[in-house]
Amino acid sequence: MTLYECMFLVEAGRASRHWEETEKELTGILEKHGAEIRRQTFYGERKLAYPVKKHRRGAYLLTYFEADPAVIEELRRDLTLSEAALRYLILKVEDGVVPEERSLGTWEPTARPQPAAAPETAPEPEAKAAPEPEAAPEEAEAAGGGEAEAAAEAGPGEADAKEEE
């Protein structure tokens, strides 16, 4: 098992209205391939640096998981097919240690969107304070190693919107 980090970008509308299902779907795909989730942190909605498939805002879910490197390819395929995330990026964690939950510059971890009295889905309040099981740190990877780039589904050269903040 190897430790990976995966960042999901979820379109803001979907994130605010259907977070539970979205997270369930993404996590489900990971687990389907035998991945063991170590930690997930939600980073609330922000303005995207450029529109992605016409969406201007998005929320991010950072997930650390352990998986067999052999399944990553298929995992990618499934994530690409899923509509839940606009984009995702899977990288190997080189030192094999799940980092502390932290803010990223001015970007703070936030609570997940609550299902606002959602009629259709039974709201299961997600009080997920991430149990944070110590990841068995495997031998530190030699730097450089097989970093996994997300299948470059790169957006069709849309580039507008200047940087924010």
For other proteins, the binding residues in 4-43 under the rule CB under 8 A are: 7, 9
Strand partners, 86: none
For other proteins, the binding residues in 72-131 under the rule CB under 8 A are: 87, 89, 91, 94, 104-107
State in angstroms the smallest separation of the CB of 82 from other proteins: 16
58 is a site residue for other proteins (CB under 8 A): yes
152 is a site residue for other proteins (CB under 8 A): yes
140 is a site residue for other proteins (CB under 8 A): no
Q: Which residue has the tokens 């997600």?
A: 126
* Residue span binding other proteins (CB under 8 A) among the ranges 13-21, 54-62, 65-73, 114-122: 54-62
Residue selected from 28, 32, 49, 133 as contacting other proteins according to rule CB under 8 A: 49
